[in-house]
Amino acid sequence: MISFLLLLLLSPISTTASTAAYPTVPGTADTSASASLNDNLTPIRRELYGDGRIFDISHRYTSNLPAYRSDNGLGQFLQLAASMKNGSFANISEMKFSVHTGTHVDAPGHFFDHYFDAGFDVDTLDLEVLNGPGLLIDVPRDSNITAEVMKSLNIPKGVTRVLFRTLNTDRRLMFKSKFDTSFVGFTEDGAKWLVQNTDIKLVGIDYLSVGAWSEMVSTHLVFLESKEALIKFQAF
Ligand SMILES: *[C@@H]1O[C@H](CO)[C@@H](O)[C@H](O)[C@H]1NC(C)=O
Ligand SMILES: *[C@@H]1O[C@H](CO)[C@@H](O)[C@H](O)[C@H]1NC(C)=O
Ligand SMILES: *[C@@H]1O[C@H](CO)[C@@H](O)[C@H](O)[C@H]1NC(C)=O
């Protein structure tokens, strides 16, 4: 199951989300609130709401969206199963793709088979953790997110939701179809440091994995073990 996340961003450290990261399909969206005054048949897809307090940080599904281990992106995922042009009384679309696509959360069962068997899917995640004010923080661009980096960020106690903006955003990796294994993510010791020393329950990162490629499995195990607390999703 896919979750579309709306996040309230309050960011004492970094200011607001970089406008360079919007729209989620470059050149196609008008993100300004005034664009909601729509009197013609051009769809408006807003990403900012509530005077900039609410950001829709989910990426739009397009065939070019990068997908795990794919060289060519998501590909054809949407079809019109019934169409008014062909005499149907309604348009009915069908989608088919991996649930690990675009902006998503990982269920505890993603890396723990016994959690999977026990039914710990995304529906078991706490919406109170998933929704609410969050901290957007820029991490050093010359490193993966290690224990040392985590320590240097000085994220205050009490902060439960953090989006980590990394070199991935500068490299615009979410806008490149070819899957790139050199993305920035957490190292195992970075994940452990976060779990042991902060109150963070929601970890957001700007590419398709929260764990750096070389420590993919071990990092996920650290994050997902608590099964109700640590969640990751990919965005911006
Ligand atoms: C219905 O589907 C047709 C394609 O058959 C498309 O051109 C049209 O925009 C759709 N209508 C709506 C209301 O989405
Ligand atoms: C409508 O039906 C024709 C003939 O079966 C097909 O070629 C075309 O792709 C269909 N168009 C849509 C929008 O479903
Ligand atoms: C992060 O780790 C990956 C390997 O998992 C590596 O390819 C990449 O260069 C590292 N990035 C930085 C900024 O150190």
DSSP string, the chain: -----EEEE--SSS-S--GGG-SSSTTT----GGGG---SS------EEGGGTEEE-PPPP-TTS--TT-SS-S-S-EEEEE-GGGT-SS-EEEE---SS-SS-B--GGGT-HHHHHHT--GGGS-HHHHSSEEEEEEPPTTS-B-HHHHHHH-PPTT--EEEEE-HHHHTTGGG-SS--TT---B-HHHHHHHHHH----EEEESSS-SB-GGGHHHHHHHHHTTSSS-EEEE--
Domain annotation covers residue 23: no
Q: What percent of the chain has pLDDT over 70?
A: 79
Mutate to test the pocket of ligand 2, among 84, 86, 89 (most ligand atoms within 8 A of CB): 86
Domain annotation covers residue 164: yes
Q: Residue 204's domain is classified under what CATH number?
A: 3.50.30.50
From ligand 2's centre to the CA of 78, what distance in Å?
14
**CB 184 near ligand 3, within 6 Å:** yes
pLDDT, mean of residues 218-224:
91
**CB 91 near ligand 1, within 6 Å:** yes
Full residue range of the structural domain in which residue 143 is found: 104-234
Atom of ligand 2 minimally distant from the CA of 80: 14
* Of 21-30, 124-133, 193-202, minimum mean pLDDT range: 21-30
Atom of ligand 1 minimally distant from the CA of 86: 5
Tell which wins on pLDDT, 96 or 107.
96
Nearest CA to ligand 2 atom 7: 86
Residue 56's pLDDT is what?
Answer: 83
Number of domains in the chain: 1
From ligand 3's centre to the CA of 179, what distance in Å?
14
In this model, does residue 137 exceed pLDDT 90? yes
Domain annotation covers residue 28: no
Domain annotation covers residue 93: no
Domain annotation covers residue 54: no
Mutate to test the pocket of ligand 3, among 183, 210, 220 (most ligand atoms within 8 A of CB): 183
Tokens of 35: 């664009």
Residue 143's pLDDT is what?
Answer: 98
From ligand 2's centre to the CA of 85, what distance in Å?
8
Domain annotation covers residue 134: yes
**CB 85 near ligand 1, within 6 Å:** yes
Domain annotation covers residue 175: yes
Residue 43's pLDDT is what?
Answer: 76
Domain annotation covers residue 65: no
